[in-house]
Amino acid sequence: MPLHKDEIIECSIESLAFGGRGVARVDGMAVFVAGGLPGDVVTARVVKAKKRFAEAEAVSVVAPSPHRVKPRCPHFGECGGCAVQDLDYAEQVAQKAAQVENALRRIGGVESLSMDPALPSPAVWNYRNKMEFVFEQRDNKLHLGLRAAQAAGDKGLPPVVDIEECHLCAERDVEILRLAREFAQGSGLPAFDPSANEGFWRHLVVRHTALGEVMVHLITSDDEKLYGRAEGLGETLVDRFPELTSFIHSSRAKRSLAATGEKIEFRLGSRTVEEMVEHDGRQARYHIAPNAFFQTNTAGAGALFGAVREYGAFDGSETLLDLYCGCGAIGIFLADTVRKVVGYEISEEAVAKAWSSAKLNGLTNCEFTAGTLDGGDVLKGLPKADVLVIDPPRAGIHENTAQAILKLAPARILAVSCDPATLARDVKRLSEAYELKRARAVDLFPHTHHIETVALLERR
């Protein structure tokens, strides 16, 4: 019998899909249930019914899963920062590892695969080194916090929740958030409204490092007449938090909601902060700029980079080609085990910081180039390499990049991915010349649906 919208069903949740929804089977049809955990028996309301699958939201728990736990945060369920804080952490890791294996088999076409044991996060709470808080004007009031959880079937942008607690980040980060919210509310200036393309306050990004350095990056609209309010917030924060290493105010004219600035307008303290990643006796340091992407779990990054190092099995003679290298994080961490590191990244700012970080570590065998990997001269000019590292954005590697890799024909490829489905697609793209030998899920994001994967492909 087909399911219908708004129908109430009872079902048993078998597993967790990528994205955090429970997976049930009703008359042979897959039903993705928001709020359902593996082992639960729930009643659920169907919010979308298709021929091959349905989407639903849990209405009540008939029989709770043995893996259910009490959430730590009072905002859980309302705030969209966490998805599965009510699931035992060991089960979170097991479900994420199963998602990776399922994607590699189903999408990647990998028939013979024995996954290496998943690596859990070294810290389950307060692990995030960076938080992106968003301003919003709603009901004649300014809000600053995190986006609410998206209800099943809903579209559009969820409202901002004025969080007072967050157990993913440091308590000081939340204290900075509270003070910034109070200051902005008292400024008389509205938050940015993307639909009207007006308003001032946009994002507040708080970052801290393993070395104790703290950066606050405020992003506003580009109305120069109002910049004095942003400077006032910076001075207030520095006065209240003397440990603050850097306050950056940057402006953004584009309507898009990315938490990145386009032009630095004001600065107190350092231009960058210094981060350190360590694993198994190896340390690497990095200069992190305001807009830089860096793994948001510093201790977890050590585990991730250590897994890449293990899979690489380097003997010191290799030329390592690091595509989508960002600020050089992985290549710099591996540089002492190879002859040479050559990195490519589209962001010129990130490449500049990669050079700076290589110098910071006293490395002379690293070089980095800015350019797109989607096609053109950069792909044509890629040097021959023994080992290739790819750590692309969530969308995976471009088709032109995949073809360039096949022509380069490195002996080994070390693939790092934050999306199991696009990793599996890329493994399939390369399967004509490469065989997947090892894979391991690495959890850098406890209580969320995100998961990293490290995979080793060897030339056939």
Catalytic residues: 418
- For strands 340-345 and 366-370, give the pairing: parallel
Q: What are the Cα distances from residue 164, in Å, to 23, 92, 264?
A: 32, 25, 29
Residue 385 and residue 408 in contact, taking contact as beta carbons nearer than 8 Å: yes
User: 77, 92, 74, 76: which is closest to 22 by C-alpha?
Assistant: 92
Contacts of 306 (CB under 8 A, 6+ apart): 279, 280, 282
Which amino acid is residue 344, in one-letter code?
Y
Does the annotation list 95 as a binding residue?
no
User: 289, 258, 259, 255: which is closest to 275 by C-alpha?
Assistant: 289
Instruction: Write down how long the chain is.
Output: 460
User: 59, 70, 8, 12: which is closest to 40 by C-alpha?
Assistant: 12
Does the annotation list 324 as a binding residue?
yes
Does the annotation list 92 as a binding residue?
no
Query: What is the rounded distance in angstroms from the CA atom of residue 154 to the CA atom of residue 61?
Result: 22
Angle, CA 369 vertex, CA 363 and CA 374 arms, to 5°: 140
Does the annotation list 275 as a binding residue?
no
Which amino acid is residue 356, in one-letter code?
S
Contacts of 155 (CB under 8 A, 6+ apart): none
- For strands 53-63 and 8-16, give the pairing: unpaired
Computed on alpha carbons and rounded to an integer, the radius of gyration of the chain in Å comes to 23
Contacts of 445 (CB under 8 A, 6+ apart): 121, 296, 297, 451, 452
Query: What is the rounded distance in angstroms from the CA atom of residue 21 to the CA atom of residue 421?
Result: 16
Annotated binding site: 295, 324, 345, 391
Annotated binding site for S-adenosyl-L-methionine: 295, 324, 345, 391
